Amino acid sequence: MRNYGDFLFTSESVSEGHPDKVSDRISDTVLDAYLEADPEARVACETLCTTNRVILAGEVRGPASVTTELLIDRARAAIKDIGYDQEGFSWKKAEITSYLHAQSADIAVGVDSAGAKDEGAGDQGIMFGFATRETEHLMPAPLFYAQTLLEKLRDYRKAGDPRGAGLLPDAKSQVTLRYVNGKPVGATSVVISTQHEDGLSQKALRDTLRTVVQEVLPEGWMCPEDEFYVNPTGIFVIGGPDGDAGLTGRKIIVDTYGGAAPHGGGAFSGKDPTKVDRSAAYAARYLAKNVVASGLADRCTIQLSYAIGVSKPLSIYVDLDGTGKDVDEAKLARTLNEVMDLSPRGIRRHLRLNRPIYTETSAYGHFGRMPDLEKDNFTWEQTDLVDALRGAFNR
C-alpha cells in the first residue's frame, strides 16, 4: 500500500462464526489439545465444516492420550462456544469424523534435530511481517476497524446486550477509509453482513449496527448514510457452515494485514510452531512492530525465507517504505538477525510458542492483539526489542 497521496483503501474481516473461521477454530483447538499433552507435538490439521458435518484431516505426532474421542469433544465445545445450535449446524447434532494420521517420516527426518544437526524448518516458504503507525496497535487502520466492529458484535451477542439482540454468529465487515497525505482521515463506506434471527427487521438491525459503528470509528469518521450497507441482499438467516462450507486457512488476508502488506501465501491455523508458515510469520510481525515502536520508521515490512530441513533463514529483507529515520535497511536486516535467533527453534523459544495458546488466534486476526501478561499469549505483539534496536542505531 505504498501511496503517500490521497486515496481510498479497503479491508474486510469475518467473525468467529464465519464457516472458514469455524474451521480455523477447530483446527487450532486440535493443535492446543496436542500441545497441552506434549509441547513438542507435531500437528498439521485441516478442517472441513458443512451442514451438520465436520471432518478433520491431516497429520499428527503426539501422545496416545490425545484420542479421537477427546478431539471430537473439544471440537463440539468449540462449536458451542461460537454459538451454533441451529437446525443446520448444531454442536450437539453435528457428525464429527477424524481422518488424522501419523506424521510423514520423510517430513520428520528433515525437521527433527539429531546429533550436530539443528532443527530444520517444517517446509520451504516466504513469510512477511508488517507494522505501521496508523493505529495504536501498529496495524493498518481499515483492518483494525473492520475487526473491532465484529469483536464488538460478538461481545454484545454473547453478553445478551440489546445491541446484540437477534444476532447470530456468522458475520462479515468491510471498511473503506480515505487517506490524505498518506494518513487515514475518515470512512467513505462501511459494509456489515450479519446473520440474524428470522423476523428481525432490517430497519432495527441497521439502526443498531449504526450505533456500533459510531462507537468503533473515531469521532467524525462515520461514512455517509447512503454508503452504510447492512445485509445488502436484504436477509441473512441461514448462515455458518449450513449456508456455506468452511475450510481451514482460507482467510489469510483477514488473518494478517487486510491487504495492506504482502503475504507469503501460507495459512496459520492448525499448524504447530515448527511450521515456519506460522512461527516465522509471527517472528516477522514481532520484528516489524519493534522497528516501528522503536521510532526507527513509521512503516516496516520484513520478509523471511526458509527451506525445509534447513535451520537458518535463507534471506532477511527489510523495507521501511521511505519512512526510515536515517536508518540503513541493510544494516537493520543484519541487526534483526543479531537480536533474535531466527531459526525455527530460536523463534519458538524466544516467543514461547510451544504452548496451547492458539485457539484465541483463530478469529479477529493474529496480529494487533493485546498480549495478556497472565496468559502470556500473543508474545509476538510485545515490544521488548525496542531498547536493543535503539542502541544499535545510537538512538
Evaluate whether 347 touches 273 at the Cβ level (below 8 Å): yes
117 is catalytic: no
Which residue among the candidates 36, 38, 59, 360 is catalytic per the annotation?
59
Active-site position among 12, 16, 20, 381? 20
Q: Is 101 a catalytic residue?
A: no
16, 28, 46, 119: the catalytic one is 46
158 counts as catalytic: no
Tell me if 169 sits within 8 A of 83, measured CB to CB: yes
Burial class (CB in 10 A: 0-12, 13-18, 19+), 184: buried
Q: Which of these is catalytic: 277, 298, 319, 381?
A: 277
At 188, list the grid cell.
467513505
* Strand runs labelled E in the chain: 7-14, 42-50, 53-61, 95-102, 125-132, 167-180, 183-196, 228-230, 246-247, 299-306, 315-319
Our answer to whether residue 366 is catalytic in this structure is no
Residue 291, Ramachandran bin (φ over 0: left; ψ between -120 and 50: alpha; else beta): alpha
Of 244, 329, 341, 360, the active-site residue reads: 244
CA distance 385 to 393: 13
Asked if 350 is an active-site residue, the reply is: no
Q: Is 21 a catalytic residue?
A: yes
Query: Which of the residues 271, 348, 350, 366 is marked catalytic?
Result: 271
Share of the chain residues as helix, strand and coil, in percent rounded to the nearest 5: 35, 25, 40
Residue 352 designated active-site: no
Residue of 61, 74, 157, 172 with catalytic role? 172
Report how far residue 369's alpha carbon sits from residue 57's, in angstroms, rounded to the nearest whole number. 29
Cell of 237: 438467516
Grid cell, residue 171, equals 458475520
Among the options 12, 16, 18, 267, which is catalytic? 18
Instruction: For residues 367 and 361, give the distance between their C-alpha atoms in angstroms, rounded to a whole number.
Output: 8
Exactly one of 275, 285, 289, 348 is catalytic; which is it?
A: 275
Residues linked to residue 306 through DSSP beta bridges, in sequence order: 125
The residue from 61, 250, 285, 350 that is catalytic is: 250
CA 124 to mean position of chain CA atoms: 21
- Is 206 one of the annotated active-site residues of the chain? no
133 carries an active-site annotation: no
CA torsion through residues 208, 210, 216, 219, sign: negative
Strands (E) across 145-276 are located at: 167-180, 183-196, 228-230, 246-247
Known catalytic residue at 250: yes
Distance CA 367, CA 375 (A): 16
Residues in a beta bridge with 60: 43, 102
Please identify which of the residues 37, 108, 165, 245 carries the catalytic annotation.
245
Q: Determine which one of 251, 289, 348, 366 is catalytic.
A: 251
Length of the chain: 395
Give the dihedral of Cα atoms 112, 118, 123, 124; nearest 10 deg. -160
Q: Of 12, 16, 21, 44, which is the active-site residue? A: 21
Active site residue 80: no
Q: Say whether 271 is catalytic.
A: yes
Extract the C-alpha cell encoding 393: 542505531
Whether 275 is a known active-site residue: answer: yes
Tell me if residue 92 is catalytic. Answer: no
Known catalytic residues are: 18, 20-21, 46, 59, 172, 236, 244-245, 250-251, 271, 275, 277
